[in-house]
Amino acid sequence: MNNETIVATIVGTVERIGEKQQISPKFSKRVMEVTIPGKRPSEWDLELQYERMDLVEQLGITPGTQIQATVKLESKRWGDQRKTFVNAIVQELSANSVAQPAQAAPQMQAAAPTASNPFG
């Protein structure tokens, strides 16, 4: 059996931020849903545990925020059906705010139509 820790970096967009949950007196967590873009976008639930739950507010993360997270992957197998569940537990987190279209629009300038190019 291999007991090595699997660590991955996830870069994506926050879709939803869950509430803080007190699971037991010694364990609390918060789940953040993230979409990784690509030909087949991948959706992940990133788990923030203990004091890392507050990183959402500290970094100003809201739905639509681009994030980069280093996660530790843990898996558990349940029942006779051999279903495996993977938890992506956040170890490090950083955020980039996304420019709103209204802010980007004034920087864009359309080309003026000419005789050779009537579309600009």
Residue pLDDT, tens place only, 7-25 = 999 999 999 999 999 999 9
Total number of domains constituting the chain: 1
Instruction: Judge whether 107 lies within some domain.
Output: no
Which residue type sits at 112? A
The answer to the question of residue 91 being in a domain is yes
Q: Is 48 a residue whose pLDDT tops 50?
A: yes
57-74 pLDDT per residue, tens: 999 999 999 999 999 998
Strands 6-17 and 83-96: unpaired
Residue 109 lies in a domain: no
Q: Is residue 65 included in any domain, yes or no?
A: yes
pLDDT, averaged across the chain: 80
Full domain range(s) for residue 75? 6-101
The reply to whether 50 falls in a domain is yes
Would residue 110 count as lying in a domain? no
Instruction: Output the pLDDT for position 96.
Output: 84
Strand (E) positions, 1-119?
A: 6-17, 21-24, 27-36, 42-49, 66-78, 83-96
In a domain? residue 55: yes
Here the CATH number for the domain that contains residue 88 is: 2.40.50.140
pLDDT at position 20 is 94
Is residue 66 situated within a structural domain?
A: yes
CB contact at 8 A, 81 and 72: no
Q: Per the confidence metrics, is the pTM higher than 0.85? A: no
Q: How far apart are CA 61 and CA 15, in angstroms?
A: 11
27-31, 80-84, 90-94, range with the lowest pLDDT: 80-84
